[in-house]
Structure 1
């Protein structure tokens, strides 16, 4: 069992090292897009499918409250994936609209959608990105593998942070690190010395 545990750690480390040089400038670009939106008094809306929703929730809460230092709150929120909503959207087709419906109701032009998906052909993610684009939002997509259909939806001003792995769990681990890195960069820029 210890060998399996060590293998998980080793895979995680190798995935992060492979991502480091390739993704640093892309993550910086994503952080700058989000920072520009916040400075323009826009909001950051986050979501993710399956385990990736934890990444979205982490990012939204870290922006809204704090990552490491006490500071003023920033306008960010994770779109809801609560059980009541899921029961209202009980059939499979409607369930893929769980985030896109909310996005259409509360998003405004200039807001930023941050969407995390280790499954880049997820119908839920695709519908959410389509809704964001219809609202004239910018999209920061955290993906993996080959980027799938998500890559094809993104425009020239959107950002894809694609993790170089085909394993969903490794992708999700690096997505968490990306979320922390983005939030830290925004905090340090907006609130230096705190």
Structure 2
């Protein structure tokens, strides 16, 4: 094949189209999510200043986004600074398989939250549908522990928004494509981390 092969050109055009769709989704969601991201950052900053923890959960690719947030909080984002107490609840296979085996897969996060969560901590959820039973139970467990919940959702939000109370916050990417929702969630995570660092440590030196 050559660079000018018609099949290659068609595939290249498809790649460019996907890039454009990604940019369009982020631009549409960015204006809607900006105010909520500010509030979310303030919730996390307040928790960290009072020496509370951030617990993060998601399934599949959303679990990967959860790990990105935890890495940026516990290690670093764009600058060197002290790490924060943040934990990804999907990263302990021994605990997860034990909970799923002894009880149900629906319990894999709620059991950990009941064991680790304390009043004043924050639970951050990532979900494209808002419907996974294990995340719904996670919200209930967080409320039992008097934790705030920040839920990154997609599409119509699913069942999770109805479970949130006045101390909680939903950040919804109201688009249908699962891939685009994941991309918006990842960019939102980077924005959230930037806002947290900015409030705690001031602007970065250029």
TM-score normalised over the length of structure 1: 0.94
Counterpart Cα distance in 2 of 1:119 and 1:163: 10
Which segment drifts farther, 108-117 or 182-191? 182-191
| Partner of residue 54, structure 2 | 44
From 139, 149, 155, give the equivalent of 2:149.
Answer: 139
Runs of 4+ residues over 6 Å off in structure 1: none
**SS of residue matched to 1:127:** helix
Deviation at residue 87 of structure 1 after TM alignment: 3.1
Deviation at residue 11 of structure 1 after TM alignment: 1.4
Say if 1:92 and 1:174 are closer, same or farther in 2 by CA, change over 3 A.
Answer: farther
| Matching of residue 104 in structure 1 with residue 114 in structure 2 | yes
Deviation at residue 89 of structure 1 after TM alignment: 3.9
From 59, 69, 78, give the equivalent of 2:69.
Answer: 59
Tell whether the 8 Å contact from 1:143 to 1:161 is kept in structure 2 after alignment: yes
Tell whether the 8 Å contact from 2:57 to 2:125 is kept in structure 1 after alignment: yes
Mind listing any 5+ residue stretches in structure 1 that lack a counterpart? none
| Matching of residue 172 in structure 1 with residue 182 in structure 2 | yes
Say if 1:169 and 1:92 are closer, same or farther in 2 by CA, change over 3 A.
Answer: farther
Computing the radius of gyration over CA atoms, which structure comes out larger, 1 or 2? Answer: 2
Say if 1:162 and 1:78 are closer, same or farther in 2 by CA, change over 3 A.
Answer: same
From 28, 38, 47, give the equivalent of 1:18.
Answer: 28
Counterpart Cα distance in 1 of 2:172 and 2:111: 25
TM-score normalised over the length of structure 2: 0.89
Counterpart Cα distance in 1 of 2:92 and 2:86: 18
Deviations 1:24-48 (A, max 9, x none): 0011000001111111111111111
**SS of residue matched to 2:18:** helix
Mind listing any 5+ residue stretches in structure 2 that lack a counterpart? 1-10
Say if 1:73 and 1:86 are closer, same or farther in 2 by CA, change over 3 A.
Answer: closer
**SS of residue matched to 1:96:** helix
